[in-house]
Chains A and B, each alone.
Chain A
């Protein structure tokens, strides 16, 4: 980064002469060094999965969840600074409640994505604050079907069929592309998601992690956002671990992709 030392990267909301906001770019770096999270839009639902890095053996396993719920029909997972992820969900819950208070119906997914995107954008425009150090995957079910969005630290948000954020995003994204989304069933997607997170963990080989997964499906969860039940999670982990052993020889290919970045 040749621009370091020019002074334009010290303050939020100040453009550099070539039109960049460095604080926002640094926030994106915080995401790039965090555990991988993915979201998959399926024919019949949404699946979230995250690689929760465990920083201490003393932490209670299975607790300290990273996938969160904004409303019964909206799930969220974010990679980056954990408290920022909690804050944005808090805001999402306020927005959802306010929408329901006025319109007496659950907020739609495009609407909540838009409101959160706008909220994040505001934090790139003021000197007194810093941008969010997270990329947030928001997905859910509403009267128009299933939706999946990802919000970046800049506030930009796009709709996706499948998306990965965090350190292992490159390999995860190329795996997602192979799935031919959204032509996949949630039950299969759970297995694939587990496999993708296990593959993405190659980038954090030295650290312990827990696989956390949730889903939304009209058929299996009644359109609500819920954690994947124990038996399905165990099955998915088994599938991922089996596959990991086979993939050991393919490791070199993965590294090639990493270089292409």
Chain B
């Protein structure tokens, strides 16, 4: 059995008349990347803030590194690196000065060479003396990550780390997360409102909606290719359904009045072949995972 780094039981948080998180439980295994998926207001940030003792839970239990968070905040936080929402730092200070401040909090050496190495690691070499207010969004994100990594934490919490970044920045962050997880054995909790972002990096995930857990599990199982949803658009849906109903593909048909199939992703070429052989005119074919579909429905609702 894998070691558990985070154990959350029946966690709830209410703000006056609003219940932001409703009785959620999950566990994060050591060395894994765990994804929080949910639209804005789903409760992702609130939960992360509770894990960082920024918000006091109304109910429930949080254990991190096998210790209850309450009463062990200092010990636990000294081993966590986090970026919550935006990577805000002191913008009237330089990159160096920001790193220096947080090094001192962790009682770490803050020589120029140590800080230079850190800046190099996050791709900010040569910009340490510049004021943060002159940084681009991507550079601020990198500095935020540098600060989060200062104490060489075992557990890293990244709340929507790719928000506001260009495609290159998004790819860089993704690679960094994979690197920390695979090469450095760090445990990472990442949140996003984009399923593919979670899919690309996470081992396990939880979908939150309006503060409630919708589904939780391993990404490989939840996003199993056997449950791919394929949607075909044709100008003569009725006759196509007629042809399909007489073939082996009928077992994959989701409903009798639309051309939607749930099938293994690997079988899509066979379906296309069948359609071509039967001279069925296809205007469009879309495939996505049923969970993604479900998630999109949630988002649109």
Do A and B pair up? The answer is no
Interface residues of A (CB under 8 A from B): none
Interface residues of B (CB under 8 A from A): none
